[in-house]
Amino acid sequence: MTTLTRTPSTTITTGTVAGIGAATCAVALTLTTLFAHDWAEVATVAPVIVVAGAIVYGLVVPRALRRDSQGGAALVLAVLAALVVVPAFWSGLPLVLGVAAMVLGNAGRRSREGAGTAIAGLVLSTLAVLFYGWIYVSEGLQGMAGLPG
């Protein structure tokens, strides 16, 4: 197993990144399936989640973790997650991008360079992920979604 970054309190390996990515995609796929209006929506969105997860957790996050500072990548992913949370919450992208930004922000918050940027990315991505979850909860409470029974 390859170690990507080592901070005073944690070690992030490729296996850890892959596990986080798989869990994030599983949650996004589950929410999509539970709250989709029909099976065509599930069939359309599922590949987007899988491909985005593979790119983000297979290429972007590991590459960013190899650098000395993860703050810039964390903030970019966090801003992207925040920008797509309202118009494209249904796509799963806010969760995929937001959790990736949280991983990078957490990894970079104690670095010598870019710690402030990493913390900003961590905070913004956490807010985007929470808002993403709130949209699904509110939609579910209003009975506005779900596959026909």
Q: pLDDT tens digits for 22-55?
A: 999 999 999 988 888 889 989 999 999 999 999 9
E strands, 7-136, in order: 11-13
pLDDT score of 58 more than 90:
yes
How far apart, in whole angstroms, are the C-alpha atoms of residue 148 and residue 142? 15
Total-model pTM: 0.88
Number of CB atoms found within 10 A of residue 15's CB: 10
Domain ranges of the chain: 11-141
Q: pLDDT tens digits for 119-143?
A: 999 999 999 999 999 998 887 777 7
Q: What angle is formed at CA 70 by the lines to CA 69 and CA 72, rounded to 5 degrees?
A: 100
pLDDT score of 61 more than 70:
yes
Contact residues for 43 (Cβ-Cβ < 8 A; gap 6+): none
pLDDT score of 146 more than 90:
no
Contact residues for 76 (Cβ-Cβ < 8 A; gap 6+): 101, 121
